[in-house]
Amino acid sequence: MNNSSIMKRPKRDIALLAVALIGLILASYAMTLHYKPNKDSFCNINETFNCDKVNKSPWAVFFGIPVSVLGTLSYLAVFLIVLKKRSLMRWLAFTERDFDIYLLLLAIVMFCFQLYLTYAEFFWIHAYCIVCFGSQLCTLLLGFIAFREYRIRK
């Protein structure tokens, strides 16, 4: 893909790609923290703001899969779906509205899962992960952009 094809994309798609890429980087970093024991993280500030404490907690694994892996796969999926939007729409016979609905549903699932994890941080782990907060912000932005486009095409 060359620069001219990127510039021909709607601003919304560029924003979605950028947010998904940032989320992918954050989730990938959290994944390295999960798998590398005793790795010093820039966000291990104290006992309250401690990524390792969150990433090594029992709530950091969902059905045997680290949540950081699920996050990485989710952001990668959003990135690839938006990157290949036109091809997917033709292949699935989707309209722009169909695409917006499914993207919004994916963002809602990601957001609901992150709400659960945030709840765990506040009420069970009693520690907070700055990287996780960044990821949550990315998910909120993805959801906001998807919801805005869904409402526009209504």
CA 110 and chain centroid, separation: 7
Do 23 and 142 meet the contact criterion of CB atoms below 8 Å apart?
A: yes
Domain count, the chain: 1
Q: Is 79 inside a domain boundary?
A: yes
pLDDT of residue 39: 62
What CATH code is carried by the domain that includes residue 94? 1.20.1440.130
**Phi/psi of residue 128, nearest 5 degrees:** -130, 140
Q: Is 52 inside a domain boundary?
A: no
pLDDT of residue 154: 64
Q: Is 114 inside a domain boundary?
A: yes
Q: Which domain holds residue 74?
A: 12-31+62-152
Q: Is 41 inside a domain boundary?
A: no
Q: Which two tokens stand for residue 5?
A: 């094809």
Q: Is 57 inside a domain boundary?
A: no
pLDDT of residue 7: 55
pLDDT of residue 121: 93
User: Mean pLDDT, consecutive 10-residue segments, the chain of 154 residues?
Assistant: 59 92 95 76 84 87 92 95 84 82 91 90 93 94 89 72
Q: Is 47 inside a domain boundary?
A: no
pLDDT of residue 84: 86
Q: What's the whole-model pTM score?
A: 0.86
